[in-house]
Amino acid sequence: MQTDIPPRKANLAGFRESERIKTLDLPQDGRWASITQSIHAAMKAGHNADVRRACAEFLQSASAFYGVSDCSARVLAARPLRVREHWTSELFGDYTPETMLIRVWMRTAVRKEVTSFGTFLSTLCHEFCHHLDFQKFGFKDSWDTSGFYERAAVLYHYARGTPPKKLFWMPVVGERWRIDWQRTNRSA
Ligand SMILES: [Zn+2]
pLDDT at 144 over 80: yes
Ligand 1 centre to CA of 97 (Å) is 12
Of 12-16, 31-35, 38-42, 103-107, where does mean pLDDT reach its minimum? 103-107
Ligand 1 centre to CA of 29 (Å) is 27
Q: Domain 28-79+88-163 class?
A: alpha beta
pLDDT of residue 88: 44
pTM of the full structure: 0.91
> 149-173, pLDDT tens digit by residue?
999 999 999 999 999 889 999 999 8
Ligand 1 centre to CA of 46 (Å) is 26
Residue 130: C-alpha distances to residues 33, 95, 162 (Å): 21, 7, 22
Ligand 1 centre to CA of 49 (Å) is 25
Catalogue the long-range contacts made by 130-135 (C-beta closer than 8 Å, 24 or more residues apart). Answer: 130/95, 130/97, 131/63, 131/68, 131/71, 131/95, 131/97, 131/100, 131/102, 132/24, 132/66, 132/68, 133/18, 134/97, 135/66, 135/68, 135/69, 135/71, 135/100
> What integer best gives the mean pLDDT of the chain?
90
